[in-house]
Amino acid sequence: MAAQLKRARARLRVEYVLALDGAEPPTDHCRPVLLALSSADRRRQRELDAPRHLLECEQCALLSEPLLGRGPTRTDEVHVPINADPDIVAARQAARELAARAGFEGTDLTMLATAVSEVARNIVRFTDGGEVTIELLERPQRGIRVVARDTGPGIGDVGRALQDGFSTYDGLGLGLPGSRRLMDEFSIDSDVGQGTTVTMTKWIVKKG
């Protein structure tokens, strides 16, 4: 009875956020993923490959926030703990929301979100956890700074890690080299056995 009640509540939460959104999910895969998130069913999330779906479906990424108990923030600095795949989505979405407030749009917004996804994914794949901080900057011009920190094994050869094709995990295939290309400023501070800090900045280019 308790399990049935839990599933019913999870389904109601999904239908509620869909009603608030006012749009039907774009694929047949969306509702099952959202239901797995709402019910906190990690086994079902793995079966559905929920993290990948949320990276590919912007509507579900937005709808997942209230289902995961994360509301939108209005501060100028956001801290996202990174420990598992769903946290990659949370960091990406936090970056998109803050960057949109800053005035980023179109391709620049996508590039920023992708770079954040990659550095967060590195933390999940290669360390025991960390944090991504996204900060709205006003000087010397308007932009977004992203700092990804972990206390993992560190990078022995930073130069090699920044070469294309160095990473062998099954991600988007961009890794650190791709993140560096997507951002305007990029630096790595890494100590073997101590951890790594990646700092990236993207500035809004004034038009006209």
List, for residues 76-109, the tens digit of each pLDDT value. 888 899 999 889 999 998 999 899 988 998 999 9
Distance CA 154, CA 191 (A): 5
Mean pLDDT score, 41-65: 85
Give the Cα separation of 77 and 144 in Å (integer). 10
For 12, other C-beta atoms within 10 Å of its C-beta total 11
Please give the Cα distance from 135 to 85 (Å, whole number). Answer: 22
pLDDT at 54 exceeding the cut of 70: yes
pLDDT for the residue numbered 53: 87
Please give the domain boundaries of the chain with CATH numbers for all domains. Answer: 2-67 (no CATH), 77-203 (3.30.565.10)
List, for residues 5-40, the tens digit of each pLDDT value.
777 788 888 887 887 777 788 889 999 999 988 888
Whole-number percent of the chain with pLDDT over 90 = 34
Average pLDDT of the chain? 83
pLDDT of residue 82: 93
Instruction: Render pLDDT for 117-142 as a digit per residue (tens, 0 to 9).
Output: 999 998 998 898 999 999 999 877 89
pLDDT of residue 70: 56
Residue among 118, 110, 44, 67 nearest 88 (CA): 118
Is the predicted pLDDT of residue 166 greater than 70, yes or no?
no
Grade residue 171 by pLDDT with cuts at 50, 70 and 90: very low
pTM of the model: 0.64
56: its two tokens: 């590919």
Q: Which residue, chain included where needed, has tokens 């070469």? A: 163
